[in-house]
Structure 1
Amino acid sequence: MQVDHIFIFTNDNGKVADELVQFGLTEGSSRVHIGQGTTNRKFYFENFFLEILWVHNEEELKSDKTKPTGLWQRADFNSNNSPFGLCIVNTDEIENLFKNSFKYQPEYFPIGLNIDIIKNEQNLNLPWTFRLPFKGQKKNETEPIEHKYGLKKLTSIEFGVSNFDKADEFIQQFSGQKNITFSLSSTNNLTLTFDENKNGQTKEFEKINLKIKY
Protein backbone atom coordinates (compact mmCIF):
# COMPACT_ATOMS: atom_id res chain seq x y z
CA MET A 1 0.00 0.00 0.00
CA GLN A 2 1.10 3.52 -0.76
CA VAL A 3 0.42 6.36 1.66
CA ASP A 4 -0.76 9.69 0.31
CA HIS A 5 -0.57 11.59 3.60
CA ILE A 6 -1.07 11.43 7.34
CA PHE A 7 -2.78 14.04 9.47
CA ILE A 8 -2.28 14.76 13.16
CA PHE A 9 -4.93 16.71 15.07
CA THR A 10 -3.60 19.38 17.41
CA ASN A 11 -5.28 21.62 19.96
CA ASP A 12 -3.01 24.67 19.63
CA ASN A 13 -4.24 26.07 16.30
CA GLY A 14 -1.36 24.40 14.51
CA LYS A 15 1.40 26.18 16.43
CA VAL A 16 3.21 22.88 16.97
CA ALA A 17 4.09 22.99 13.27
CA ASP A 18 6.58 25.71 14.22
CA GLU A 19 8.59 22.98 15.97
CA LEU A 20 8.75 21.04 12.69
CA VAL A 21 10.00 24.17 10.94
CA GLN A 22 12.62 24.76 13.65
CA PHE A 23 13.77 21.17 13.19
CA GLY A 24 14.42 21.90 9.54
CA LEU A 25 11.33 20.91 7.59
CA THR A 26 10.23 23.27 4.83
CA GLU A 27 6.57 24.20 5.13
CA GLY A 28 4.27 23.97 2.13
CA SER A 29 0.81 25.37 1.45
CA SER A 30 -2.15 25.36 3.82
CA ARG A 31 -5.90 25.31 3.30
CA VAL A 32 -9.25 25.65 5.03
CA HIS A 33 -11.61 22.69 4.58
CA ILE A 34 -14.79 24.57 3.78
CA GLY A 35 -17.82 23.20 5.62
CA GLN A 36 -15.74 20.71 7.60
CA GLY A 37 -14.49 23.10 10.26
CA THR A 38 -10.79 22.23 9.94
CA THR A 39 -7.68 23.88 8.58
CA ASN A 40 -4.07 22.76 8.21
CA ARG A 41 -0.35 23.29 7.76
CA LYS A 42 1.49 20.84 5.50
CA PHE A 43 4.97 19.45 4.89
CA TYR A 44 5.68 17.70 1.58
CA PHE A 45 8.20 15.01 0.70
CA GLU A 46 8.93 13.01 -2.45
CA ASN A 47 6.17 10.44 -1.88
CA PHE A 48 4.00 11.77 0.94
CA PHE A 49 2.92 14.78 2.95
CA LEU A 50 2.40 15.38 6.66
CA GLU A 51 -0.61 17.45 7.68
CA ILE A 52 -0.96 19.28 10.98
CA LEU A 53 -4.71 19.67 11.44
CA TRP A 54 -6.88 21.64 13.84
CA VAL A 55 -10.47 22.75 14.37
CA HIS A 56 -11.35 26.35 13.54
CA ASN A 57 -15.13 25.93 13.51
CA GLU A 58 -16.57 23.32 15.89
CA GLU A 59 -20.11 23.97 14.66
CA GLU A 60 -19.15 22.88 11.14
CA LEU A 61 -17.21 19.87 12.45
CA LYS A 62 -20.28 18.67 14.37
CA SER A 63 -22.84 19.57 11.72
CA ASP A 64 -25.34 17.00 10.41
CA LYS A 65 -23.14 16.55 7.35
CA THR A 66 -19.75 16.18 9.01
CA LYS A 67 -20.46 14.62 12.40
CA PRO A 68 -21.28 11.15 10.95
CA THR A 69 -17.68 10.93 9.68
CA GLY A 70 -16.44 10.57 13.27
CA LEU A 71 -13.77 13.18 12.57
CA TRP A 72 -14.81 15.17 15.64
CA GLN A 73 -13.86 12.22 17.85
CA ARG A 74 -10.27 12.45 16.61
CA ALA A 75 -10.15 16.13 17.53
CA ASP A 76 -11.37 15.47 21.09
CA PHE A 77 -8.31 16.02 23.26
CA ASN A 78 -10.21 15.15 26.42
CA SER A 79 -10.31 11.54 25.25
CA ASN A 80 -7.74 8.86 24.48
CA ASN A 81 -8.83 8.62 20.85
CA SER A 82 -6.13 8.49 18.20
CA PRO A 83 -5.56 11.95 16.66
CA PHE A 84 -4.06 10.40 13.54
CA GLY A 85 -5.54 10.08 10.08
CA LEU A 86 -4.09 7.71 7.48
CA CYS A 87 -4.80 8.44 3.83
CA ILE A 88 -4.00 5.51 1.54
CA VAL A 89 -3.49 6.00 -2.18
CA ASN A 90 -6.57 4.85 -4.08
CA THR A 91 -5.58 1.72 -6.04
CA ASP A 92 -7.29 -1.55 -6.94
CA GLU A 93 -5.17 -3.25 -4.26
CA ILE A 94 -7.16 -1.66 -1.41
CA GLU A 95 -10.71 -2.39 -2.60
CA ASN A 96 -11.20 -5.05 0.06
CA LEU A 97 -9.99 -2.76 2.83
CA PHE A 98 -12.63 -0.16 1.92
CA LYS A 99 -15.48 -2.51 1.03
CA ASN A 100 -17.62 -1.35 4.00
CA SER A 101 -16.38 2.22 4.19
CA PHE A 102 -18.48 5.26 5.02
CA LYS A 103 -18.89 7.66 2.11
CA TYR A 104 -18.42 11.35 2.84
CA GLN A 105 -19.18 14.14 0.38
CA PRO A 106 -17.20 17.18 1.58
CA GLU A 107 -18.21 20.66 0.51
CA TYR A 108 -14.72 21.33 -0.80
CA PHE A 109 -15.01 18.53 -3.42
CA PRO A 110 -17.26 18.62 -6.49
CA ILE A 111 -20.58 16.79 -6.15
CA GLY A 112 -20.14 13.06 -6.70
CA LEU A 113 -16.59 12.86 -5.41
CA ASN A 114 -16.69 11.05 -2.08
CA ILE A 115 -14.03 10.31 0.51
CA ASP A 116 -14.23 6.68 1.67
CA ILE A 117 -13.68 6.46 5.42
CA ILE A 118 -12.90 3.67 7.86
CA LYS A 119 -13.90 5.26 11.17
CA ASN A 120 -12.56 2.38 13.31
CA GLU A 121 -15.34 2.93 15.82
CA GLN A 122 -14.66 -0.54 17.26
CA ASN A 123 -11.33 0.84 18.49
CA LEU A 124 -10.78 4.60 18.39
CA ASN A 125 -7.13 4.05 19.26
CA LEU A 126 -6.62 3.05 15.63
CA PRO A 127 -6.16 5.79 13.02
CA TRP A 128 -9.08 7.29 11.12
CA THR A 129 -8.34 5.79 7.72
CA PHE A 130 -9.49 7.03 4.32
CA ARG A 131 -8.92 7.24 0.60
CA LEU A 132 -9.56 10.06 -1.82
CA PRO A 133 -11.76 9.59 -4.91
CA PHE A 134 -8.85 10.10 -7.29
CA LYS A 135 -7.00 7.00 -8.54
CA GLY A 136 -3.28 6.93 -8.00
CA GLN A 137 -1.10 9.44 -6.20
CA LYS A 138 -1.43 13.06 -7.19
CA LYS A 139 1.82 14.46 -8.53
CA ASN A 140 3.28 17.34 -6.58
CA GLU A 141 4.64 19.97 -8.95
CA THR A 142 4.43 23.12 -6.84
CA GLU A 143 5.16 22.26 -3.19
CA PRO A 144 8.67 22.49 -1.68
CA ILE A 145 10.28 19.15 -0.88
CA GLU A 146 13.81 20.17 0.12
CA HIS A 147 14.48 19.76 3.85
CA LYS A 148 17.37 19.99 6.27
CA TYR A 149 19.24 16.72 6.88
CA GLY A 150 18.23 15.58 3.39
CA LEU A 151 14.88 14.02 4.32
CA LYS A 152 13.36 12.86 1.05
CA LYS A 153 11.27 9.71 0.97
CA LEU A 154 9.01 8.16 3.59
CA THR A 155 9.98 4.48 3.85
CA SER A 156 7.94 3.18 6.80
CA ILE A 157 5.19 4.09 9.25
CA GLU A 158 4.52 2.60 12.66
CA PHE A 159 1.42 3.37 14.69
CA GLY A 160 1.74 2.72 18.41
CA VAL A 161 -1.71 1.69 19.65
CA SER A 162 -2.66 1.73 23.33
CA ASN A 163 -5.53 -0.71 22.83
CA PHE A 164 -3.94 -3.20 20.47
CA ASP A 165 -5.58 -6.38 19.25
CA LYS A 166 -3.58 -8.26 16.63
CA ALA A 167 -6.76 -10.11 15.61
CA ASP A 168 -8.62 -6.89 14.79
CA GLU A 169 -10.01 -7.14 11.25
CA PHE A 170 -8.60 -3.73 10.32
CA ILE A 171 -5.08 -4.61 11.48
CA GLN A 172 -5.31 -7.95 9.68
CA GLN A 173 -5.76 -6.06 6.40
CA PHE A 174 -2.20 -4.77 6.80
CA SER A 175 -0.65 -8.19 7.29
CA GLY A 176 2.46 -8.43 5.13
CA GLN A 177 2.72 -4.68 4.63
CA LYS A 178 6.26 -3.78 5.66
CA ASN A 179 5.78 -0.03 5.26
CA ILE A 180 2.68 0.27 7.51
CA THR A 181 2.72 -1.50 10.87
CA PHE A 182 0.85 -1.40 14.18
CA SER A 183 2.19 -2.29 17.62
CA LEU A 184 1.18 -2.19 21.27
CA SER A 185 2.19 0.99 23.08
CA SER A 186 1.38 2.84 26.29
CA THR A 187 0.16 5.79 24.19
CA ASN A 188 -1.24 6.33 20.71
CA ASN A 189 1.80 7.50 18.80
CA LEU A 190 3.34 7.65 15.36
CA THR A 191 6.83 6.95 14.03
CA LEU A 192 7.77 8.09 10.53
CA THR A 193 10.97 6.71 9.04
CA PHE A 194 12.54 8.55 6.13
CA ASP A 195 15.16 7.16 3.76
CA GLU A 196 15.41 3.93 5.80
CA ASN A 197 16.89 5.87 8.74
CA LYS A 198 20.20 6.13 6.89
CA ASN A 199 21.57 8.78 9.28
CA GLY A 200 20.60 6.76 12.36
CA GLN A 201 18.98 9.82 13.93
CA THR A 202 15.63 10.30 15.71
CA LYS A 203 13.75 13.49 16.53
CA GLU A 204 10.80 13.45 18.94
CA PHE A 205 7.89 15.89 18.96
CA GLU A 206 6.26 15.12 22.28
CA LYS A 207 3.27 17.44 21.93
CA ILE A 208 1.93 15.39 19.03
CA ASN A 209 3.37 11.95 19.97
CA LEU A 210 5.48 11.91 16.80
CA LYS A 211 8.95 10.50 16.16
CA ILE A 212 10.82 11.13 12.96
CA LYS A 213 13.68 8.77 12.11
CA TYR A 214 16.06 9.86 9.36
Structure 2
Amino acid sequence: MSIKNYLSIFTLVLFLASCKEKKTEEFNKNISSDLEVDHFNIWVKNPQKAKQKLIDIGFTAIPDSLSAVHHGQGTSGRYFYFLNTYLEFIFVYNQKEFEVNNSKNKDLDFSERANFNKNGASPFSIALKVKEYKVDKIPFRKIQYHQSWMENDRSIYAAKNSKTHLKEPSIFVVYPKMQYDVFETLRDLKKIPEEYALWREFYKHKNGAKKVTRIVITSKDVDLSTETMKTVHGIENIIIKNGSSYVMELFFDNATQQKTFDLRPELPLLIHL
Protein backbone atom coordinates (compact mmCIF):
# COMPACT_ATOMS: atom_id res chain seq x y z
CA MET A 1 0.00 0.00 0.00
CA SER A 2 1.38 3.43 -0.94
CA ILE A 3 2.17 6.16 1.60
CA LYS A 4 -0.58 8.24 0.00
CA ASN A 5 -3.16 5.50 0.75
CA TYR A 6 -1.95 5.17 4.34
CA LEU A 7 -2.32 8.90 4.80
CA SER A 8 -5.83 8.81 3.35
CA ILE A 9 -6.92 6.01 5.69
CA PHE A 10 -5.31 7.73 8.69
CA THR A 11 -7.11 10.95 7.85
CA LEU A 12 -10.43 9.09 7.53
CA VAL A 13 -9.98 7.41 10.94
CA LEU A 14 -9.24 10.75 12.58
CA PHE A 15 -12.30 12.27 10.93
CA LEU A 16 -14.61 9.46 12.11
CA ALA A 17 -13.21 9.64 15.66
CA SER A 18 -13.72 13.39 15.65
CA CYS A 19 -17.35 12.97 14.50
CA LYS A 20 -18.02 10.39 17.20
CA GLU A 21 -16.52 12.64 19.89
CA LYS A 22 -18.50 15.61 18.60
CA LYS A 23 -21.75 13.61 18.67
CA THR A 24 -21.08 12.57 22.26
CA GLU A 25 -20.34 16.15 23.26
CA GLU A 26 -23.48 17.37 21.54
CA PHE A 27 -25.58 14.65 23.18
CA ASN A 28 -24.29 15.56 26.63
CA LYS A 29 -24.67 19.25 25.89
CA ASN A 30 -28.28 18.78 24.84
CA ILE A 31 -29.10 16.85 27.99
CA SER A 32 -27.37 19.23 30.37
CA SER A 33 -29.01 22.25 28.76
CA ASP A 34 -32.44 20.89 29.76
CA LEU A 35 -31.87 18.99 33.01
CA GLU A 36 -30.55 19.94 36.45
CA VAL A 37 -30.50 18.35 39.88
CA ASP A 38 -33.39 19.57 42.03
CA HIS A 39 -32.66 17.54 45.18
CA PHE A 40 -31.49 14.10 46.27
CA ASN A 41 -32.62 11.39 48.70
CA ILE A 42 -31.07 8.63 50.74
CA TRP A 43 -33.32 5.82 51.97
CA VAL A 44 -32.67 5.10 55.65
CA LYS A 45 -33.96 2.74 58.33
CA ASN A 46 -33.23 5.01 61.29
CA PRO A 47 -33.99 8.63 60.29
CA GLN A 48 -33.19 10.12 63.69
CA LYS A 49 -29.76 8.53 63.77
CA ALA A 50 -29.08 9.61 60.19
CA LYS A 51 -30.14 13.18 60.95
CA GLN A 52 -27.99 13.34 64.07
CA LYS A 53 -24.89 12.28 62.11
CA LEU A 54 -25.15 15.48 60.08
CA ILE A 55 -26.06 17.68 63.04
CA ASP A 56 -22.93 16.41 64.81
CA ILE A 57 -20.72 17.83 62.03
CA GLY A 58 -22.35 21.24 61.98
CA PHE A 59 -25.43 20.99 59.75
CA THR A 60 -28.81 22.49 60.65
CA ALA A 61 -31.79 20.15 60.22
CA ILE A 62 -35.39 21.04 59.49
CA PRO A 63 -37.32 20.29 62.74
CA ASP A 64 -39.29 17.05 62.65
CA SER A 65 -42.49 19.01 63.32
CA LEU A 66 -42.00 20.87 60.03
CA SER A 67 -40.87 17.88 58.00
CA ALA A 68 -43.12 16.62 55.24
CA VAL A 69 -45.19 13.46 55.52
CA HIS A 70 -46.00 12.01 52.09
CA HIS A 71 -49.65 11.15 52.74
CA GLY A 72 -50.89 8.27 50.62
CA GLN A 73 -47.34 7.13 50.00
CA GLY A 74 -46.52 5.95 53.51
CA THR A 75 -43.18 7.76 53.68
CA SER A 76 -41.73 10.80 55.37
CA GLY A 77 -38.40 12.60 55.34
CA ARG A 78 -35.79 14.35 57.43
CA TYR A 79 -34.42 17.37 55.60
CA PHE A 80 -31.33 19.54 55.23
CA TYR A 81 -31.66 22.72 53.15
CA PHE A 82 -28.86 24.37 51.19
CA LEU A 83 -28.92 27.43 48.96
CA ASN A 84 -29.21 25.44 45.73
CA THR A 85 -30.66 22.05 46.69
CA TYR A 86 -31.65 19.85 49.62
CA LEU A 87 -30.97 16.41 51.06
CA GLU A 88 -33.80 14.19 52.22
CA PHE A 89 -33.43 11.10 54.38
CA ILE A 90 -36.54 9.22 53.24
CA PHE A 91 -38.05 6.37 55.24
CA VAL A 92 -41.22 4.30 55.65
CA TYR A 93 -43.52 6.21 57.99
CA ASN A 94 -46.70 4.10 57.76
CA GLN A 95 -46.11 0.49 56.68
CA LYS A 96 -49.73 -0.26 55.82
CA GLU A 97 -50.14 2.89 53.74
CA PHE A 98 -46.79 2.17 52.10
CA GLU A 99 -47.90 -1.33 51.06
CA VAL A 100 -51.25 -0.10 49.72
CA ASN A 101 -49.50 2.53 47.61
CA ASN A 102 -47.05 -0.04 46.25
CA SER A 103 -49.92 -2.35 45.24
CA LYS A 104 -51.46 0.54 43.28
CA ASN A 105 -48.16 1.56 41.68
CA LYS A 106 -46.44 -1.72 40.90
CA ASP A 107 -44.18 -0.19 38.24
CA LEU A 108 -42.54 2.12 40.77
CA ASP A 109 -39.52 1.17 42.87
CA PHE A 110 -40.49 2.35 46.36
CA SER A 111 -40.61 -1.14 47.84
CA GLU A 112 -37.28 -2.21 46.39
CA ARG A 113 -35.49 0.97 47.46
CA ALA A 114 -36.94 0.88 50.97
CA ASN A 115 -35.56 -2.66 51.34
CA PHE A 116 -32.08 -1.75 50.11
CA ASN A 117 -30.49 -3.51 53.08
CA LYS A 118 -32.00 -6.84 52.00
CA ASN A 119 -31.91 -6.80 48.20
CA GLY A 120 -28.72 -4.88 47.38
CA ALA A 121 -30.55 -1.95 45.76
CA SER A 122 -28.99 1.49 45.67
CA PRO A 123 -30.44 3.61 48.51
CA PHE A 124 -29.99 6.83 46.52
CA SER A 125 -32.52 8.85 44.52
CA ILE A 126 -31.96 11.90 42.34
CA ALA A 127 -34.79 14.34 41.63
CA LEU A 128 -34.30 16.26 38.40
CA LYS A 129 -35.91 19.41 37.05
CA VAL A 130 -36.40 20.37 33.41
CA LYS A 131 -35.72 23.88 32.15
CA GLU A 132 -38.75 25.31 30.34
CA TYR A 133 -40.67 22.28 31.59
CA LYS A 134 -42.45 20.00 29.17
CA VAL A 135 -43.10 16.31 29.83
CA ASP A 136 -41.89 15.32 26.37
CA LYS A 137 -38.46 16.83 27.15
CA ILE A 138 -37.78 14.06 29.68
CA PRO A 139 -35.22 11.95 27.77
CA PHE A 140 -35.97 8.48 29.15
CA ARG A 141 -38.90 6.08 29.43
CA LYS A 142 -41.02 7.20 32.33
CA ILE A 143 -43.92 6.33 34.62
CA GLN A 144 -46.46 8.93 35.71
CA TYR A 145 -47.07 9.15 39.44
CA HIS A 146 -49.61 11.31 41.28
CA GLN A 147 -50.59 11.79 44.91
CA SER A 148 -53.20 14.00 46.61
CA TRP A 149 -50.53 16.43 47.91
CA MET A 150 -49.56 17.25 44.33
CA GLU A 151 -51.46 19.70 42.15
CA ASN A 152 -54.53 18.13 40.54
CA ASP A 153 -53.16 18.24 37.00
CA ARG A 154 -49.51 17.59 37.82
CA SER A 155 -47.43 14.46 38.38
CA ILE A 156 -43.94 13.26 39.11
CA TYR A 157 -42.35 11.19 36.34
CA ALA A 158 -40.16 8.30 37.49
CA ALA A 159 -37.65 6.57 35.25
CA LYS A 160 -39.00 3.18 34.20
CA ASN A 161 -35.45 1.87 34.44
CA SER A 162 -35.31 2.50 38.19
CA LYS A 163 -37.58 -0.48 38.86
CA THR A 164 -35.54 -2.96 36.83
CA HIS A 165 -32.00 -1.61 37.36
CA LEU A 166 -31.80 -1.42 41.13
CA LYS A 167 -28.07 -0.75 41.26
CA GLU A 168 -28.68 2.58 39.58
CA PRO A 169 -29.78 5.51 41.71
CA SER A 170 -33.54 5.96 41.41
CA ILE A 171 -34.30 8.84 39.01
CA PHE A 172 -37.42 11.00 38.81
CA VAL A 173 -38.47 14.43 37.51
CA VAL A 174 -40.47 17.02 39.45
CA TYR A 175 -42.79 19.60 37.92
CA PRO A 176 -42.11 23.39 38.19
CA LYS A 177 -44.19 24.22 41.28
CA MET A 178 -42.53 21.33 43.09
CA GLN A 179 -39.05 22.54 42.27
CA TYR A 180 -36.79 23.76 45.05
CA ASP A 181 -36.30 27.53 45.39
CA VAL A 182 -32.67 28.40 44.72
CA PHE A 183 -30.82 31.29 46.38
CA GLU A 184 -27.53 32.73 45.20
CA THR A 185 -26.32 33.96 48.61
CA LEU A 186 -27.46 33.94 52.24
CA ARG A 187 -28.49 37.57 51.79
CA ASP A 188 -31.06 36.44 49.23
CA LEU A 189 -32.95 34.54 51.94
CA LYS A 190 -34.73 37.83 52.63
CA LYS A 191 -36.84 36.93 49.58
CA ILE A 192 -38.60 34.37 51.77
CA PRO A 193 -41.82 36.10 52.94
CA GLU A 194 -41.85 37.40 56.51
CA GLU A 195 -44.58 34.97 57.52
CA TYR A 196 -42.09 32.18 56.79
CA ALA A 197 -39.03 34.02 58.16
CA LEU A 198 -38.30 31.12 60.53
CA TRP A 199 -37.28 29.02 57.53
CA ARG A 200 -34.36 31.35 56.75
CA GLU A 201 -32.48 29.92 59.70
CA PHE A 202 -32.52 26.38 58.32
CA TYR A 203 -30.19 27.34 55.45
CA LYS A 204 -27.50 28.51 57.87
CA HIS A 205 -25.04 25.82 58.95
CA LYS A 206 -22.44 26.11 61.72
CA ASN A 207 -19.86 24.37 59.53
CA GLY A 208 -20.19 27.08 56.86
CA ALA A 209 -21.74 24.91 54.14
CA LYS A 210 -23.81 26.89 51.64
CA LYS A 211 -24.11 25.18 48.24
CA VAL A 212 -23.69 21.64 46.94
CA THR A 213 -21.25 22.09 44.06
CA ARG A 214 -20.67 18.43 43.11
CA ILE A 215 -22.27 15.05 43.72
CA VAL A 216 -20.43 11.77 43.15
CA ILE A 217 -22.37 8.52 43.54
CA THR A 218 -20.61 5.18 43.59
CA SER A 219 -22.67 2.08 42.83
CA LYS A 220 -21.89 -1.61 42.72
CA ASP A 221 -21.82 -3.20 39.24
CA VAL A 222 -24.00 -0.49 37.73
CA ASP A 223 -24.51 -0.49 33.95
CA LEU A 224 -23.41 3.00 32.92
CA SER A 225 -24.71 2.57 29.37
CA THR A 226 -28.46 2.64 30.16
CA GLU A 227 -30.57 5.58 29.03
CA THR A 228 -30.99 6.92 32.56
CA MET A 229 -27.28 6.74 33.36
CA LYS A 230 -26.42 8.45 30.08
CA THR A 231 -28.92 11.15 30.98
CA VAL A 232 -27.41 11.71 34.43
CA HIS A 233 -23.88 11.79 33.00
CA GLY A 234 -24.92 14.74 30.86
CA ILE A 235 -25.92 16.84 33.86
CA GLU A 236 -23.46 19.34 35.25
CA ASN A 237 -21.71 18.55 38.55
CA ILE A 238 -22.97 15.00 39.03
CA ILE A 239 -21.03 11.79 38.44
CA ILE A 240 -22.09 8.13 38.70
CA LYS A 241 -19.33 5.55 38.84
CA ASN A 242 -18.68 1.92 39.72
CA GLY A 243 -17.05 0.82 42.96
CA SER A 244 -17.02 -1.79 45.69
CA SER A 245 -19.84 -0.27 47.77
CA TYR A 246 -22.64 2.29 47.65
CA VAL A 247 -21.56 5.76 48.70
CA MET A 248 -22.64 9.32 47.99
CA GLU A 249 -20.06 12.10 48.14
CA LEU A 250 -21.28 15.67 48.57
CA PHE A 251 -18.90 18.54 47.85
CA PHE A 252 -19.88 21.88 49.37
CA ASP A 253 -18.61 25.20 48.01
CA ASN A 254 -15.92 23.43 45.94
CA ALA A 255 -14.49 21.92 49.14
CA THR A 256 -12.58 25.11 49.93
CA GLN A 257 -12.26 24.19 53.62
CA GLN A 258 -10.45 20.97 52.65
CA LYS A 259 -12.28 18.98 55.32
CA THR A 260 -13.80 15.52 54.80
CA PHE A 261 -16.22 13.65 57.05
CA ASP A 262 -16.79 9.94 56.44
CA LEU A 263 -20.15 8.98 57.96
CA ARG A 264 -19.87 5.28 57.16
CA PRO A 265 -20.85 2.67 58.21
CA GLU A 266 -23.98 4.27 59.69
CA LEU A 267 -24.59 6.32 56.54
CA PRO A 268 -23.21 5.71 53.01
CA LEU A 269 -22.16 9.35 52.88
CA LEU A 270 -18.94 11.35 52.55
CA ILE A 271 -19.07 15.11 53.16
CA HIS A 272 -16.40 17.39 51.66
CA LEU A 273 -16.38 20.95 53.01
Same fold (TM over 0.5): yes
The equivalent of 1:169 in structure 2 is: 227
TM-score (norm 1): 0.90
The equivalent of 2:113 in structure 1 is: 74
AA partner of residue 2 (structure 1): E
AA partner of residue 112 (structure 2): Q
Of 145, 150, 157, which residue of structure 2 is paired with 1:116?
Answer: 157
The equivalent of 2:39 in structure 1 is: 5
Matched residues in 1 for 2:73 and 2:127: separation? 17
Q: Secondary structure at the match of 1:174?
A: helix
Q: Secondary structure at the match of 1:148?
A: coil
**For residues 146 and 92 of structure 1, do their structure 2 counterparts lie closer, same or farther at Cα, with a shift above 3 Å needed?**
same
Of 230, 240, 256, which residue of structure 2 is paired with 1:198?
Answer: 256
Matched residues in 2 for 1:110 and 1:186: separation? 41
TM-score (norm 2): 0.72
Greater mean deviation of Cα atoms: 133-142 or 62-71: 133-142
The equivalent of 2:52 in structure 1 is: 18
Contact 1:203/1:212 (8 A) holds in 2: yes
In structure 2, stretches of 5+ residues that fail to align are 1-34, 183-191, 193-198
Q: How high is the sequence identity, in percent, across the aligned residues?
A: 28
**For residues 68 and 172 of structure 1, do their structure 2 counterparts lie closer, same or farther at Cα, with a shift above 3 Å needed?**
closer
The equivalent of 1:149 in structure 2 is: 207
Larger CA Rg, structure 1 vs 2: 2
AA partner of residue 24 (structure 1): G
Q: Does 1:126 align with 2:164?
A: no
Matched residues in 1 for 2:214 and 2:178: separation? 19
Counterparts of 1:182-197 in structure 2, within 5 Å, are 182-197=240-255
Matched residues in 2 for 1:14 and 1:112: separation? 34
Contact 1:36/1:66 (8 A) holds in 2: no
The equivalent of 1:62 in structure 2 is: 99
Superposed CA RMSD in Å reads 2.1
The equivalent of 2:4 in structure 1 is: none
Q: Secondary structure at the match of 1:158?
A: strand
Of 100, 105, 108, which residue of structure 1 is paired with 2:141?
Answer: 100
Q: Secondary structure at the match of 1:23?
A: coil
Contact 1:123/1:163 (8 A) holds in 2: no
Contact 2:71/2:149 (8 A) holds in 1: yes
Contact 2:107/2:163 (8 A) holds in 1: no
Aligned-pair CA distance for 1:149: 2.1
